[in-house]
Amino acid sequence: MSKTRRYFSLLGLLVVLSMLLAACGAPATTAAPTATQPPVETKAPVEETSAPAPTTAPTEPQAPAVPNCGTEPVVLNAYFETGFDLPFKLAEEFSKQYPNVTWDIKQDQFTNLINSTPRLLSGDNPPDLIRLPTMVSFAKQGLLKDLDGYAAAFGWDKWPVPQLNQNRVAPDGTRGSGTLYAMGLNYSLTGIFYNKTLAAQIGMTEPPKTLAEFEDYLAKAKAAGLLPIMAWGSAKSGMGLAFPLQALMASVGPVEPINDWIFQKPGATIDTPSNLVAAQHLEQWIKNGYFPPDVNAIEYTDANVRFTKGEGVFLFNGDWENWRYDKDMPGNVGFFLMPPAEEGKPPAAMSAPLTFGIAAKAKNADCAAFFLNWVATNEKARAINVQYGGSNPGGPADLPLPPVPEGSITNQTLAAGAIVGKAGTAMDFIANATSSIFAQGWTPELQKMVAGKQDAAGLLKAVQAEYERELAEQ
Amino acid sequence: MTLGNDNILTATAVSRRGLLGGRLRRASIIGWLFTLPALGMYAAFVLIPLLLSIYYSFFKWDGIGPMTWVGLRNYVTVFKVPDLLGTIYNAFRLVLWFSLIPVGLGLVVASVIHRVAPGRFGALVRTVVFLPQVIPLVAAGIIWGWLLALPGLVNQILRSIGLGAITRAWLGDFDWALPAVGMIGVWVLLGFCTVLLLTGISKIDPALYEAARIDGASWFQEFIHVTVPLLKQEIGVCLTVTVINALAAFDIVYVATGGGPGNSTAVPGIQIYILAFTEQRIGLASALAVMLMLLVFIVILPIQRLTRETA
């Protein structure tokens, strides 16, 4: 379940992989602390950064000392998501490098975190570090620490822009700009995985370059008696056809209006002419039998298991599942980004940070912030990040990516991420536009479409109506 | 509940006739003391949350921040909840599956056990039928999900007996998801009804059955003319509990389908959950909960009246 629900939380607007690009320009050499740098023992700067001056102007003192974990014993109070090793491995390594820091880690399923986070943040023992399922409402309620002070102290604000923007919330509740409330442990990427053996059977030797080519392969797969696309779609898992739908939207149209809609920009609508074309493609795929007939009852985990067992040529999913595909179908899995409708147009992808925040009342906020900085900048941490997370670790633009084992699918997803980063075509997930647009909008309406009870135009209208209902009630 | 009150009234009426006032007061104080622990629990876990829900329903509140008084506005907004009438309709369709079938089937099973297998075999059957009450519902939901999936056991059996044409993903089918959830409900609630009714049957005077048999009554006649009429109160309790289970359904639906596909198995309980915990609209969720409670009352009160009057 936790894996299932994980990308409900796909947050964030732009991927971050642009740091790979020389084009980004070398950022100023910030005094990002490294593991070797002895922690500076200070008191004053701690106070200074723990209360980051919001808008009051004077900006002089920030520079000299960066927050750190000190030398006294510190117990970091953390909430992680069950089923994902990465944060645990990082915590372990952090304690090795900073022995005065120990952890009190609690874990829970993602769905439970969604419901319990407000209480945890506002409770008596607020977490120093917590996996954030969503962010806007907690930020507006003042439950999350304003990280702008840390961003200045650690030089995060000099990292490639999109990394931080996706975790910024403006006073009116729109995301994408404003105060920084969270950091990503890494930055995931979605696209299309394929079974190499089955792809060879339909004559696909290299990934398609256009939507038409891709649809041609889908038709060939169907004709060859194969299942073209494995997918999940139960209400419990959340309707997985939102993945191909959004990929189609970005394939036939621009990504900006999609992000505007997700970030609740005034007047934004999902019911646009190009999105209608995208939804019509999806409707046609359904009618052509490109998805499993029982998709409305398939759970997320079952879809992945069935795909690794050879059912389905393609699967729309994200790089957080790389470990599974590497393990269960080693060497037999490939990855490509959804190809654009017009050749030459850059491909786009849904992408998001693995978001962690600090409670406003956290006792060890400085140490937690230091940890977040360490994750993105420490060589060992970045290696762990890629090994267990499968995604880009982010961080300053001039740091090299850690090596990935030969033959791992991660090589392909990281390379694809660089393309999206360069093109600036990353998107947040359409299911994250409002808190229950997935449960009350996309999931039921797409399920109706699968059953032939909803058409492309009706789908977009119904979801837009639900979006407006939720926004109006706020 | 009302039944209990009646008993107390009768008891006091009797005592008033026979006893002195002082002793009566002492006896009744002792009586109240005995019920105090139960009353305390009832207040803590039922009455206070109930009153709080009613209170919340007049506010706009996200569960954490300040509460804003909005009067009855939540009771207006609640009608804009997606497909509200559809969810209420689904809840009434569940009455068939969660209430009528388990009670009807429970009557048959109980009287069969009573007639043909009163001994050790009967105890075994009773245990097996009651078992679903003991199994954690979440685990049961996952197992039923597997059984009812397209590659699942139910479809395998259907295929093996030549009914391959009707196989489908039961929980993912718009027409069949609700009956499939209903079947899980039957499985869960049948045991409860059976055990309750069986206890009732064992209290019926055996002489009545003997007389019926001497008169040459068949099993069916015996069932209709002796068992059912004398079980009226137990049937009333069964109906009340299971109808509430259906109208206020949440757990079985949540673990089986989550309300899908589309909104074909969505019930008010699921909507309340989404409003409260996903949308963080405690006031609106409370308003819907209060309305659901009123709806349950409207349905339950006639059942109570009917099954008590002639008893």
A98 within domain boundaries: yes
- Which residue did the predictor score with more confidence, A190 or A85? A190
Which pLDDT does position A161 carry in this prediction?
67
Reported confidence tier of residue A333, pLDDT bands at 50, 70, 90? very high
Q: Which of residues 263-292 of A touch B (CB under 8 A)?
A: 292
- Number of domains observed in the structure of chain A: 2
Same domain as A456, residue A307: yes
Is residue A284 a part of any domain in this protein?
A: yes
* Domain-located, residue A14: yes
In this structure, the answer to whether residues A340 and A469 fall within a common structural domain is yes
Distance from CA of B173 to the nearest CA of A (A): 7
- In chain A, what are the helix, strand and coil shares in percent, each to the nearest 5? 45, 15, 40
Residues on B contacting A at a C-beta cutoff of 8 Å: 62-65, 77, 80, 82, 145, 148-150, 168-174, 257-263, 266, 274, 277-281, 284
Looking at the fold, whether A157 and A180 belong to one and the same domain comes out as yes
Q: Are residues A200 and A108 in the same domain?
A: no
Q: For residue A451, give the nearest of B150, B174, B257 by CB distance.
A: B174
Q: Say if the Cβ atoms of A436 and B261 lie within 8 Å.
A: no
List the single residue in B65, B150, B173 with the smallest CB-CB distance to A141.
B65
Q: Which domain holds residue A135?
A: 2-188+352-409
From the CA of B185, how many Å to the nearest CA of chain A?
18
CA distance B145 to chain A (A): 9
Q: What amino acid is encoded at B11 in this protein?
A: A
Check A114 against B277: CB less than 8 A apart: yes
Residues A309 and A441 in one domain: yes
Cβ atoms of B299 and A335 within 8 Å: the answer is no
The pLDDT of residue A362 is above 70: yes
- Complex ipTM > 0.90: no
| Closest Cβ–Cβ partner in A294, A445, A466 for B172 | A294
**Do A363 and A232 sit in the same domain of this protein?**
no
Report the distance separating Cα B111 and Cα B122, nearest Å: 11
pLDDT in tens, chain B (311 residues): 344 444 444 444 444 444 555 677 888 888 889 999 999 999 999 999 999 999 999 999 988 778 999 999 999 988 888 788 899 999 999 999 999 999 999 999 998 888 887 677 888 888 888 999 888 888 888 899 999 999 899 999 999 999 989 999 999 999 999 999 999 999 999 999 999 999 999 889 889 988 998 998 888 888 899 889 999 999 999 999 999 999 999 999 999 999 989 999 999 999 999 999 888 889 999 999 999 999 999 999 998 888 876 54
Using a CB-CB cut-off of 8 Å, the residues of chain A touching B84 are: none
CATH code where residue A136 lies: 3.40.190.10
Q: DSSP characters for A430-455?
A: GGGSSTTHIIIIIHHHHHHHHTTS--
| A204 and A137, same domain (yes or no) | no
Residues A326, A232 share a domain = yes
Domain-located, residue A318 = yes
**Whole-number pLDDT of residue A85:** 83
Q: Would the pLDDT of A14 be above 80?
A: no
- Say yes or no to pLDDT of A442 above 50: yes
CB atoms within 10 A of CB A371: 28
Residues A438, A382 share a domain: no
Q: Are residues A278 and A401 in the same domain?
A: no
Number of cross-chain residue pairs from A and B with Cβ atoms under 8 Å apart: 102
Q: How far apart are CA A133 and CA A7, in angstroms?
A: 9
Q: Higher model confidence: residue A160 or residue A96?
A: A96
Report d(CA A157, CA A405) in Å as an integer. Answer: 31
Residue A414 within a domain: no
Cβ–Cβ gap B280/A444 under 8 Å: no
Residue A419 domain-assigned (yes or no): no
Q: What single letter denotes the amino acid at residue A228?
A: P
Q: Is residue A307 part of a domain?
A: yes
Q: Which residue carries 């299932």 as its tokens?
A: A4
> B149 to chain A: which residues are within 8 Å by CB?
294, 297-298, 302
For B284, residues 6+ apart whose C-beta sits below 8 A from its C-beta are A473, B60, B74, B77, B78, B81, B275
The arithmetic mean of pLDDT across residues A350-362, rounded, is 92
**Tens of pLDDT along A20-59?**
333 333 333 333 333 333 333 333 333 333 334 444 444 4
Of B138, B174, B135, B144, the closest CA to residue B250 belongs to: B138
Of B64, B260, B279, the CB nearest to A235: B260
| Residues whose CB falls within 8 Å of the CB of residue B111, separated by 6 or more in sequence, listed in order | B197, B201, B219, B223, B227
Shared-domain flag, residues A213 and A229 = yes
Q: Write out the two tokens for A96.
A: 């090795």
CB contact under 8 A, A233 and B145: no
Q: Does A448 touch chain B (CB under 8 A)?
A: yes
Q: What residues of B are in contact with residue A435 (Cβ under 8 Å)? A: 278-280
- Do A204 and A318 share a structural domain? yes
| Identity at B222, one-letter amino acid code | E
Greatest mean pLDDT range, A117-121, A260-264, A321-325, B178-182: B178-182
SS3 A106: strand
Of B150, B174, B260, the CB nearest to A443: B260
H/E element holding B139? helix B137-148
The answer to the question of residue A220 being in a domain is yes
Nearest to B64 among A141, A439, A444 (CB): A141
**pLDDT, tens only, A268-303:** 999 999 999 999 999 999 999 999 999 999 999 999
CA distance B295 to A179: 46
Q: How close A435 comes to chain B (CA, Å)?
A: 6
The alpha-carbon gap from B140 to the nearest alpha carbon of chain A, in Å, equals 15
**Domains, chain B, with CATH or none:** 2-56 (no CATH), 80-309 (1.10.3720.10)
Which positions 97-136 of A are in contact with B (Cβ < 8 Å)? 114-115, 118-119, 122
Cβ B62–A141 below 8 Å, yes or no?
A: yes
Task: Show residues of chain A in contact with B62, CB under 8 Å.
Answer: 118, 137, 141
Hey, are the CB atoms on A436 and B274 less than 8 Å from each other? Answer: yes
